[in-house]
């Protein structure tokens, strides 16, 4: 007994002393923080972080190779503790989340009966998998097996569904998926992505200048997830209420359903969910990445500026908008009339954007109230210029300065600012674009008895949207086609009394393929009017260039737009970016919104010191080859949702909004018309 105790004591003492001596002799200096950090990690040694066990991860954190949030098991509190040890701010990391981009759907027939290994990897090695469509999920669940956190399961439709609360963003599923359907991205990465050739993009989504994931939001509407649909749209377009009302929806022209039937009424669906959010009485929260401490000056509070500010803010940058007018909104406030986009709705929309923490300084005109020097002094890291195109072209004819003569933007913006005009008895608006139509429809509402549109070519050549022209016709606007104004005639008090024009006839087609109007000799005609509005196009006002030496290197094109790389929107001065009408010339709201995000992406790259370049395989204003069909078999014709309009009698006496929103049943019926292109593996031959 005694020997045993003595022996155990002896051997214990021997081992202990050997170890303590060894720890002295073999002592290797180790940063004490490593042990501290390791204490906060989960201790599971799972390797999910990509390092060989917790100690290795702790070493990586201390060496600065891994972020404090490295441990995918321990959670946010641990990350904060680790960050405290390291003297870092844990907030710098955005959570990564896995997204299943494929929505499944009808599977195309198998190429052959497959009895091989039960894995997507093996199947995809054969014939690229048995599904026809580019991104089709193979459904063998490699991703499910790869997930160590049980966050993916096979959904009822045969494709994997990600449980976002369980997903830690380790990226295992992304590596496991041979078809690149699952992607693990932060919100910022999603916001920064521009359409690329190897994305699975429906024709509408390829065409939308803002690159909204249209089939996704339509599917969400179909499933009653209106909130989800709003979020989907907001990943690409912060002005959904406005766009839902005024967008001429180029996407619908490319809608695949439109090949066999009427296209899906995509924009009305957007308006439906946008109105749903506004009428629900609460704003859906918009997540933003952690603050980066960088600051950007956005000049111009139009759609381009608002969109750029919105996305920069969501990427974590500080933004100040500088606007020369008393309110934000740009042309959609001062150009687009109240009866198309009520100011109350616009205010609600803009408030939501500013609520993200964006500062707005109104009545501040660049080049007068502030300049490049003061921006540099205030410490802005980059500048976005979205100054729009606000200078009207003049006709260049006699009498243009008489009383009662206006230019389009001047007239519309003064009207929108609440200025009172003496209502003319008879008025003529020169031009065939949307601005001209907006002018005439406004005049009718003001109570003008006779309103004329005077246009050089014919109705078929009018650049204005068809629906707008029709609406003007319904409201009683008169059209004088093939007429070129030559002079405004006035009385002795310098008041306009007549517009003199030459009749035209169509001659040979010109470079644009349109038949060029040629004047008919001696066909001068007088039109009795007491107001003449010239709305024949606009160009940007770049007078601010003279205000500061720092802008000497800013190149301006011959159309007065700010010269920039069309894809990155970087100007000739590296820290100045542009977008919207000031980059493209007069265009569309969606185009300006898309440009704002494109510029935000480049600015983000600039601020983070990356090279400023488009996404690889960028699909800029192109279509993916093979995705534009000329026939779609199996489509059963169903009429498209009709737009309800205010009756003409009611609308021409007021500025109440004309177009009404879809009802819920109509919206759901309309969403069911969508073919879910690129989501369903669509087999053209078999059908």
Partner 1 sequence: MDYIILAISCILINNILLAQYLGNCPFMGTSKKMETAVGMAFAVVFVLVMAGVITWIVNTYVLAKFGLDYLRTIAFILVIASLVQFVEMFLKKSIPALYAGLGIFLPLITTNCAVMGVCLINVNEEYTFVQALVSSFSYAVGFGLALILFAGVRERVLLARVPKPLQDTSIALVIAGILSLTFFAFKGMV
By beta-carbon proximity to ligand SF4, the closer residue of 452 and 682 is 682
Instruction: Indicate whether 297 belongs to the interface with ligand SF4 (CB under 6 A).
Output: no
In SS3 terms, 548-598 reads as CHHHCCCCECCCCCECECCCCCEECCCCEEECCHHHHCCCCHHHHHHHHHH
Q: Which stretch binds ligand SF4 (CB under 6 A): 133-141, 249-257, 365-373, 522-530?
A: 249-257
Token readout for 332 is 């959609």
Secondary structure (3-state) at 271: helix
Q: Which stretch binds ligand FAD (CB under 6 A): 10-18, 158-166, 433-441, 677-685?
A: 433-441
Q: How far is the CB of 55 from partner 1 (least distance, A)?
A: 7
The interface mask with partner 1, positions 446-485, x = CB under 8 A, is ----------------------------------------
Q: Would you say 160 and 80 are in contact if contact means Cβ atoms under 8 Å apart?
A: no
Q: Kindly tell me which residue out of 108, 325, 532, 641 binds ligand FAD, with binding defined by CB under 6 A.
A: 325
Q: β-strand 496-509 against 515-519: which pairing, if any?
A: antiparallel
Q: Kindly tell me which residue out of 471, 532, 675, 680 binds ligand SF4, with binding defined by CB under 6 A.
A: 675
Q: Which stretch binds partner 1 (CB under 8 A): 6-14, 246-254, 342-350, 447-455?
A: 6-14
Q: β-strand 318-322 against 359-361: which pairing, if any?
A: parallel
Instruction: Indicate whether 8 belongs to the interface with partner 1 (CB under 8 A).
Output: yes
Instruction: Give the integer Cα–Cα distance in Å for 9 and 466.
Output: 99
DSSP string, 411-444: HHHHHHTT---PPPSEEEEE-SSHHHHHHHHHHH
Q: Kindly tell me which residue out of 2, 27, 112, 609 binds partner 1, with binding defined by CB under 8 A.
A: 27
Q: Which residues from 185-224 bind ligand SF4, rule CB under 6 A? A: 202-204, 214-215, 218
Instruction: Give the integer Cα–Cα distance in Å for 238 and 352.
Output: 9
Instruction: Indicate whether 444 belongs to the interface with ligand FAD (CB under 6 A).
Output: no
Token readout for 282 is 């609460």
Instruction: Give the integer Cα–Cα distance in Å for 204 and 251.
Output: 4
Neighbours of 194 (CB within 10 A): 16
Alpha-carbon dihedral 197, 201, 207, 211, rounded to 10 degrees = -90
Among 240, 229, 239, 235, CA closest to 191: 235
Instruction: Give the integer Cα–Cα distance in Å for 483 and 554.
Output: 40
Instruction: Give the integer Cα–Cα distance in Å for 584 and 566.
Output: 9
The interface mask with ligand SF4, positions 262-291, x = CB under 6 A, is --x-x-------------------------
By beta-carbon proximity to ligand FAD, the closer residue of 85 and 308 is 308
Instruction: Indicate whether 244 belongs to the interface with ligand SF4 (CB under 6 A).
Output: no
Would the annotation count 102 as a binding residue? no
Residue with tokens 């999910």: 48
Length of the chain: 687
Q: How far is the CB of 202 from ligand SF4 (least distance, A)?
A: 4
Q: Kindly tell me which residue out of 45, 180, 413, 683 binds partner 1, with binding defined by CB under 8 A.
A: 45
Interacting partner of 12 out of ligand FAD, ligand SF4, partner 1, none (Cβ under 5 to 8 A depending on kind): partner 1
Q: Would you say 193 and 311 are in contact if contact means Cβ atoms under 8 Å apart?
A: no
Binding stretches for ligand SF4 (CB under 6 A): 202-204, 214-215, 218, 255-257, 264, 266, 674-677
**Which residue positions form the known binding site for [4Fe-4S] cluster?**
46, 49, 54, 71, 133, 137, 143, 147, 167, 170, 173, 177
Binding stretches for ligand FAD (CB under 6 A): 246-248, 299-305, 322-325, 330-332, 335-336, 365-367, 386-388, 390, 409, 412, 434-435, 438, 541, 544, 580-582, 587-590, 592
């Amino acid at each position: 007994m005694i020997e045993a105790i003595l022996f155990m004591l002896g051997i214990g003492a021997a081992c202990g002393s050997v170890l303590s001596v060894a720890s002295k002799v073999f002592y290797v200096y180790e940063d004490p923080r490593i042990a501290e950090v390791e204490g906060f990690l989960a201790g599971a040694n799972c390797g999910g972080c990509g390092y060989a066990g917790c100690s290795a991860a702790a070493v990586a954190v201390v060496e600065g190779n891994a972020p404090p949030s490295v441990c995918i098991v321990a959670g946010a509190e641990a990350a904060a503790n680790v960050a405290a040890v390291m003297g870092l701010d844990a907030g710098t990391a955005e959570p990564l989340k896995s997204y299943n981009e494929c929505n499944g759907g009808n599977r195309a027939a198998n190429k052959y009966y497959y009895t091989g290994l039960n894995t997507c990897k093996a199947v995809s090695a054969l014939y690229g998998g048995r599904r026809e469509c580019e991104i089709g999920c193979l459904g063998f669940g490699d991703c499910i097996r790869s997930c160590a956190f049980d966050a993916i399961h096979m959904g009822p439709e045969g494709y994997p569904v990600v449980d976002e609360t369980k997903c830690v963003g380790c990226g295992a599923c992304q590596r496991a998926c041979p078809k690149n359907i699952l992607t693990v991205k932060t919100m910022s990465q999603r916001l920064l992505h521009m359409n690329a050739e190897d994305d699975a993009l429906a024709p509408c989504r390829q065409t939308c200048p803002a690159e909204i994931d249209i089939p996704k939001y339509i599917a969400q509407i179909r499933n009653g997830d209106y909130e989800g649909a709003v979020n989907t749209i907001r990943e690409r377009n912060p002005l959904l209420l406005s766009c839902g009302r005024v967008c001429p929806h180029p996407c619908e022209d490319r809608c695949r359903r439109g090949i066999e039937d009427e296209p899906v009424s995509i924009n009305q669906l957007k308006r439906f969910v946008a109105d749903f959010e506004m009428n629900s009485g609460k704003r859906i929260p918009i997540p933003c990445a952690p603050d980066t401490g960088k600051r950007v000056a956005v000049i111009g509070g139009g759609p381009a500026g608002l969109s750029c500010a919105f996305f920069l803010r969501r990427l974590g940058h500080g933004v100040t908008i500088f606007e020369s007018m008393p309110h934000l909104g740009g042309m959609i406030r001062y150009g687009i009339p109240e009866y198309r986009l009520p100011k109350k709705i616009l205010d609600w929309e803009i408030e939501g954007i500013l609520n993200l923490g964006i500062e707005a300084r109104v009545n501040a005109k660049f080049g007068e109230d502030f300049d490049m020097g003061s921006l540099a002094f205030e410490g802005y890291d980059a500048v976005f210029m979205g100054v729009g195109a606000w200078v009207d072209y003049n006709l260049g004819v006699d009498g243009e300065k008489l009383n009662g003569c206006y230019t389009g933007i001047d007239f519309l913006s003064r009207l929108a600012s609440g200025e009172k005009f003496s209502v003319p008895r008879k008025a003529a608006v020169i031009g065939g674009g949307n601005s001209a139509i907006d002018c005439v429809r406004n005049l009718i509402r003001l109570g003008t008895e006779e309103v004329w549109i005077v246009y050089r070519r014919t109705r078929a050549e009018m650049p204005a949207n068809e629906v707008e022209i029709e609406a003007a016709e319904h409201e009683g606007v008169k059209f004088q086609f093939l007429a070129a104004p030559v002079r405004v005639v006035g009385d002795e008090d310098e008041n306009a009394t007549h517009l003199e024009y030459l009749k035209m006839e169509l001659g040979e087609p010109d470079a644009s393929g349109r038949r060029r109007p040629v004047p008919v000799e001696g066909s001068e005609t007088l039109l009795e009017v007491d107001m003449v509005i010239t709305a024949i196009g606009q160009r940007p006002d770049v007078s601010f260039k003279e205000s500061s030496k720092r802008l000497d290197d800013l190149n301006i094109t011959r159309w007065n737009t700010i010269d920039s790389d069309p894809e990155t929107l970087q100007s000739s001065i590296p820290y100045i970016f542009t977008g919207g009408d000031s980059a493209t010339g007069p265009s569309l709201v969606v185009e300006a919104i898309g440009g704002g995000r494109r510029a935000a992406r480049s600015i983000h790259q600039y601020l983070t010191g990356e090279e400023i370049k488009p996404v690889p395989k960028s699909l800029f204003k192109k279509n993916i080859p093979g995705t534009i069909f000329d026939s779609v078999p199996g489509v059963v014709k169903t009429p498209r949702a009709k737009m309800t309009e205010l009756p003409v009698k009611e609308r021409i006496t007021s500025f109440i909004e004309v177009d009404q929103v879809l009802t819920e049943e109509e919206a759901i019926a309309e969403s069911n018309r969508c073919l879910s292109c690129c989501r369903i593996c669509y087999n053209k031959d078999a059908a």
